[in-house]
Amino acid sequence: MPKKILLKWLQEKDITIPGALLTQYKAMNLKEEEVVLILHLISISDKGNDFPTPFELAEVMTYSAEDCAGMLRRLIQKGLITINEGYSEEGIRFEKYCLDNFWEKLADTFLIADKRNEAKENQQDEI
């Protein structure tokens, strides 16, 4: 029985987030609930579902399906999330959320913050 529990815990799969995400999301104009929604997208995708509905998100978030749909829309409008469409070999059309732009924006923001810090340190060295 304890073993079964451990295996179920493992099935929930850990997710790893770069520390930079926590220090930079504010500069990326993201709210905390949007960060958590993105973590849900990552986690749900790891478990095999690349295109969760607002209803599925609302089940694990403290927001309604309507709110979740609104957040998704805003993240798509900002260009952080894209929807990739395609056709499987059997001709079935599929859609999946793609976070490539999100990671790219995170890298951008991290590099800008780093440059600003360096500029500040140089200024202080000169004084």
DSSP calls for 19-75: HHHHHHTTTTT--HHHHHHHHHHHHHHHTT-SS--HHHHHHHSSS-HHHHHHHHHHH
Residue 101 binds a second copy, judged by CB under 8 A: no
Stretch that binds a second copy, among 4-12, 48-56, 77-85, 119-127 (CB under 8 A): 4-12
Residue 8 binds a second copy, judged by CB under 8 A: yes
Backbone angles phi, psi at 49, to 5 degrees: -115, 105
Residue 89 binds a second copy, judged by CB under 8 A: yes
**Angstrom distance (rounded) from CA 18 to CA 74:** 23
Among 73, 107, 119, 121, interactor with a second copy by CB under 8 A: 107
Contact 43, 61 (CB under 8 A): no
Question: For the window 16-45, what string marks contact with a second copy as x by the rule CB under 8 A?
Answer: xxxxx-xx--x---xxxx-xxx-xx--x--
Interface contacts to a second copy, rule CB under 8 A = 1-3, 5-20, 22-23, 26, 30-33, 35-37, 39-40, 43, 46-47, 60-63, 89-90, 103-104, 107-108, 110-111, 114
